[in-house]
Every structure is written in C-alpha cells, then in structure tokens.
Amino acid sequence: MPSFNYWDRQGRGDLLGGGARLIPIRTPHGDFKVWTKRVGNHPRIKLLLLHGGPGATHEYFEPFDLWLPEAGIEYYYYDQLGSHRSDQPDIPALWDLPRFVDEVDQVRQALGLGPDNFFLLGHSWGGILAIEYALAHPQALKGLVISNMVASIPAYNRYAQTVLMPAMDPAALAEIQALEAAQDTDNPRYMALLVPHHYEHHVLRLPQAQWPDPVNRAFAHLNPKVYVPMQGPSELGASGKLQHWDRDADLHRIRVPTLTIGATHDTMDPAHMAAMARALPQGRHLLCPRGSHMAMVDDQETYMRGLIEFLLDVGGRG
C-alpha cells in the first residue's frame, strides 16, 4: 500500500486545511468536536464513510484513495465521537445508538449534504449506524451502502456459533472460549489465538505480517471504552448493548437505492447480505468472492468497482 500523509492534530481549528475539518457536535452530555476530511468534488455524489468498531477509525478506508478520486467521486472520511482524531470523552452514557444517529445527522448538516447528493456508506458497526440513519432520516438520503453487515445481531451470533466456530481448530476455540468465560480477553494469548484462527480467515485474509499500514493503524487506535460496552469483549459474536439489535423486519421501509456488500469469507453470513438486498425496495447486492470482513482490502478490485458502479448509476455520470 502507498503511504499517506494526514493532518497533525496540533493547532486544531474548525478549518484545518487539506479538506480536513472539525465539526461541533451537541450531545446531552456536553459539546464536542469530530474530525472529517473531504476528498474530491462532485455536485451529485458526496459519500460519507461510517467506520466500524464501534470505536475504530477512518484509517482502514484509505484504500478508497486509490479508486474514488479517479472516478471523480467526492467522499468524506469521518472519525465518530470517541474515535482517534475526534474528541474522546470518557462518558459511558454517550455510547448509545440513537445518539450516534443524531451525531451523523449533525455531521451531514454541517457538511451541507442533502437528498440531491448525499450517499452514506456504513461498514460493519457503521452498517448498523447507516441502517438506523436511513430509517430515522429517509428524506436526507440519495443512496445507501451497507458494507459487510447483516441486519440482525442475533443472526450474526447464530452464524458465528453454527458456521464460524465449528470450522475453527477445536483446541484453539476451547482456549479462546475459556479466556472469554474468565473475562480475561486482555490477555495477550487471546489475540495470539484469534489472529491465526479467526482474523486471518474471516476479518482480513492475509497473514498479519502482511496487513497494510492503514489497517494496522485502525486497530492500534481502536478505543475499547467505546467498543466493549457496545460490541462486548468477545470477538466471536456480540454481547454488548447491540446484542439484541435487529432490523430485518424494517428493511422494507428503506426506499432509497441501497447496495449491500458481502464477502464469501466474511464474519457476516453472505447469504444474509444477499437476502437483505432482496428485502430492500431498491436493493442491489455485490458479493466479493475472495473477500472477508475487510473486503475493501482483500478483494479490493471487486469491492471498489462495484461500489463505483452503484454510485455513478444512482448519482449520475459525467
């Protein structure tokens, strides 16, 4: 991967140069600022990127720089509140799905995005946030992309239990589950087992030594004070505040053109991703056959060409 130069947070201001901007966010627990960065300029296609986690960062989206500018697409990197370049208040009450939805809408308004040009892409946890945003603010959107995320956490947990876990080495799985049962997931042994037995198969299908720098930085900057309360401590399913989240029955209410992106080796059931597209009134589906949860990295050409085709088709070419 090429190297990328990013804004140094020293001397922060609302307008930071290079397309970067700090946006003020109002919450019930105080006012804060979140970081965004615009790349490109297009009157009809303005794509806001919602990263995963919760509590991860925009950084693993950096491969978009290799594809979207050439296609003429305008897009926005964005670190959600609690993440990396944005404010990171230690206030547990902030880590709440409806508040995150409101934050996204404040960011949208500050950036001047609207129904004639506003596309929203959510990956992983960002996909949950994108679905909730589309249900809460349908009038604001022109198009939606749900990337590597099913519409039901109970379905995700079932897939992990019935498909992913049985395929793992039994001894490694037993040790992983023992560490989880003992609430000892901070133990270095936990990730030492998860990486070769799970991550390299279903999160990013490369040996960890070959993971690109943007991915390594995103993992290094993940904020556990956001991640653990919402996702839970286990990496083989969700057990936090999101444990019972399920919007399968509400997909028919999302009436804007929507692309679901799944991957054959994903942590999320690829069949569920395809079924979501059929349930959406204007749904389309893209399968990345060589990809995993981070298909924008390990099946990059399929992912990017499919995404660009959707954006240009809905937003207009030329």
Q: List residues with catalytic annotation.
A: 124, 266, 293
Strand partners, 22: 35
Q: What are phi and psi of 33, to 5 degrees?
A: -130, 140
Residue type, 11: G
Helices (H), 112-238: 125-136, 153-159, 170-181, 188-194, 213-220, 224-231
Check if the beta carbon of residue 113 is closer than 8 Å to that of residue 137: no
Q: How is residue 127 written in tokens?
A: 């996909």
Rounded to whole angstroms, the Cα distance separating 95 from 77 reads 20
DSSP H or E run through 147: strand 143-147
Residue 187 CB neighbour total at 10 angstroms:
12
Among 272, 274, 270, 310, which residue's Cα sits nearest to residue 290?
Answer: 270
Is the separation of the CB atoms in 81 and 54 below 8 Å? no
Amino acid at 29: H
How far is it, in rounded angstroms, from Cα 120 to Cα 108? 10
- Rounded distance, CA 252 to CA 134, Å? 11
What's the CA gap between 108 and 47, in Å, rounded?
A: 10
User: Cα-flanking dihedrals φ and ψ of residue 123, to 5°?
Assistant: -110, 130
Which residues partner with 23 through β-bridges? 34
Q: Identify the DSSP state of 223.
A: -
Whether residue 299 contacts residue 289, with contact meaning beta carbons closer than 8 Å, is answered with yes
Considering just the CA atoms, what is the radius of gyration of the chain in Å?
19
